[in-house]
A and B are shown apart, each in its own frame.
Chain A
Amino acid sequence: MALSEQEVLKIAKLAALDVSSQDLTQLSAKLSNVLDLFAQLQQVNTDHVLPMAHPLDKVQRLRVDQTVADIPRDKYQAIAPACEQGLYLVPKVID
């Protein structure tokens, strides 16, 4: 199955990746190859097979609803590029 360059650009945009025009052709071919592998898988009859949600045959362990209030905010914020009044600062996201 061949992915068009437009589709690759859309996927790149959704993943917030900057794909250069030089890489585009090669990337389209590579991704198309991956889809070919899935196309092979899709030929297998899975009518009576439950979808696998996780490769480990285990169930989720749950945690008791208890808090640990000790949160060293200053330590966490020391590695952030910018903070003010306890807030993390990021480039403006709305106009």
Chain B
Amino acid sequence: MISSMNWEVVIGLEIHAQLACESKIFSNAPTAYGAEPNTQANIVDLAMPGVLPVLNERAVELAVRFGLAVGAEIGQTSVFARKNYFYPDSPKAYQISQFELPIVGKGEITIEVDGQHKNIGITRAHLEEDAGKSLHEDFHGLTGIDLNRAGTPLLEIVSEPDMRSAAEAIAYAKAIHELVQFLEIGDGNMQEGSFRVDVNVSLRKPGALFGTRTELKNINSFKFIEKALAYEIDRHIEILESGGEIVQETRLYDPDRDETRSMRSKEEANDYRYFPDPDLLPVVVSDEQLAAIKASLPELPGQMRVRFEQDYGLSAYDAQLLTAAAVNARYFEALVAELGAQQAKLAANWMNGELAKALNKAELTLEQSPISGDALAGLLVRIVDNTVSGKLAKQVFEAMWAGEGSADQIIEAKGLKQITDTGAIEKIVDEVLAANAKQVEAYKAGQEKLFGFFVGQVMKLSKGQANPAQVNDLLQQKLKN
């Protein structure tokens, strides 16, 4: 039986975020995902003799954007270094990275776990190139190498070992993920590997020195961070409590077996012999460039959440969902601009409710939504002006989703217009009361829960089109006598 009571978990994360560049970091080959093998690897990416790397200015700009957003010192002079190791998916036998002078220095980001806020330190973030891909199957005992990904611009974001639980690690990873998308410096697509998380974990007795850590590599979903950590923490506890020692090593999480296993021992592999890359000169970001990038920063998700809660009276949960990506926030703000701030809650409910449900079901992103912000605003306007009830609006929404037209066209074509004419509703109410004399008697004798039954009957008779508030009022009046 494993008891985790006596141990403090210490976690630090290294996140590789692919930067939103058209071309590679040091070559003009394209970075698009999913191309035919080696059709996006040019002579620089293939490390042909005599080629030289030329740095992509957009990669520099995006890295600085990130740095500014986490309040970091920007390395206005940064230097590229060679990280030396042999592996066939790295044709130069070194990776161009940054070591002593990274472009982004110390910063921090705030996370929230169970309503508690905590600042997590960011040690540094540096620019580097991605490696290619090795395919180990089906080549008669040989390995196939695809270098399309080689040279793809990455920002490696290194945290301080500030996290004390899997929940904190996930909150941090999500906060960085959200920020990367929000700043539009990367698409954060975890399935395609454009956002990869390496987890460093160790255990110690509270107050003691850090224990020996293991590194869990290339975890490609938030759920797997949790599972990999759960497995690895139990493994550490088991070893430590039986008097054993943790071996510092890199381990791979295998989601199929839900376990981690040793990849390579760090002792030998981590002697990377970094040295400044003589092919690249120091990179200088001028004060003017820095000021321009600062001025171009959008409102950050944290600031936006506070504003949504204060100005629009949204719950923390709604505000969180609406600021999860820049595209969400833009969609929401467009709705509010159309409907007015007092309808912000309605807009949030529809975005986080019907729309989110439909997108989820169809496995679409908000950008791919068949219902544009304008179209949804067209529907919500009809709820606000009482043309349709909230319930019938859902039918209209479904029809809009199916491409049957605008909200107004559908309301007209399907005759879903709400009945707000008091006379017409009163007629239906009278009809219902006359047809259910027994229930009326019972209600008057004290069975007040029958009220819902009358409402239901009226709505049924009006085919859901009677204005519910008016139905309530009228029924109350009539049943009082």
Q: Do A and B bind each other?
A: yes
Residue interface mask B15-26, A partner, CB < 8 A = 1: 000000111000
Enumerate B26-59 residues with CB–CB distance to A below 8 Å.
Answer: 28-31, 36-43, 46, 54-59
B147 touches A88 (CB 8 A): yes
User: Are B38 and A86 in contact (CB-based, < 8 A)?
Assistant: yes
Closest to B144 in A: A87
User: Cβ of A35 < 8 Å from any Cβ of B?
Assistant: no
Query: A62's contact among B38, B57, B86, by CB below 8 Å, is which?
Result: B57
User: CA of A66 to CA of B57 in the docked complex: distance in angstroms?
Assistant: 10
Point out the residues of chain B lying under 8 angstroms from A85, CB to CB. 37, 144
**Known contacts being A85-B144, A92-B136, is A59 close to B37, with CB within 8 Å?**
no
Closest Cβ neighbor of A84 among chain B residues: B139
B contacts with A: majority SS: loop
Q: Mark B78-94, 1 if CB is under 8 A from A, else 0.
A: 01000010111000000
Q: Give min CB distance, B286 to chain A, whole Å.
A: 10
Q: Mark A50-71, 1 if CB is under 8 A from B, else 0.
A: 0101101011111111111101
Select one of A62, A65, A92 contacting B142, CB under 8 A: A92
Q: Which of A51, A63, A66 contacts B100 (CB 8 A)?
A: A51
Contact pick for A54, options B41, B87, B276, CB 8 Å? B276
Interface size, chain A (Cβ < 8 Å): 34
8 Å CB contact of A71 from B29, B57, B143: B29
- Quick check: is B356 within 8 A (CB to CB) of the other chain? no
Interface of A is mostly: loop
Contact of A76 among B21, B43, B135, B278 (CB under 8 A): B43
**A54 vs B280: C-alpha distance when bound (angstroms):** 8
Q: Which of A18-68 contact B (CB under 8 A)?
A: 51, 53-54, 56, 58-68
Please judge, given known A-B contacts A53-B276, A62-B56, A67-B23, whether A93 and B144 are in contact too, CB under 8 Å.
no
Q: In the complex, how many angstroms separate the beta carbon of A10 from the nearest chain B beta carbon? A: 8
Quick check: is A78 within 8 A (CB to CB) of the other chain?
no
| A90: B residues at CB distance < 8 A | 88, 142-143, 145
A residues near B139, Cβ cutoff 8 Å: 84, 87, 89
Cβ-neighbour of B281 out of A16, A58, A89 (below 8 A): A58
* Pick from A51, A53, A65: contact of B21, CB under 8 Å: A65
Residue of chain A at shortest CB distance from B136:
A94
Residue of A54, A67, A87 touching B38 (CB-CB under 8 A) = A87
Q: Does B363 contact A (CB under 8 A)?
A: no
**What are 26 A-B residue pairs whose CB atoms fall within 8 Å in the complex?**
A16-B86, A51-B100, A53-B276, A53-B281, A60-B280, A60-B282, A61-B55, A62-B56, A62-B283, A63-B57, A65-B58, A66-B28, A67-B23, A67-B30, A71-B39, A76-B41, A76-B46, A77-B38, A84-B144, A86-B37, A87-B38, A88-B88, A88-B144, A90-B88, A93-B87, A93-B143
A-binding residues in B (CB < 8 A): 21-23, 28-31, 36-43, 46, 54-60, 79, 84, 86-88, 100-101, 134-136, 139, 141-147, 271, 273, 276, 278, 280-284
Tell me the A residues contacting B by CB distance below 8 Å: 14, 16, 51, 53-54, 56, 58-69, 71, 73, 76-77, 82, 84-94
Question: What are the nearest 7 A-B pairs in CB distance?
Answer: A87-B144, A62-B57, A65-B58, A86-B37, A60-B281, A67-B30, A53-B79
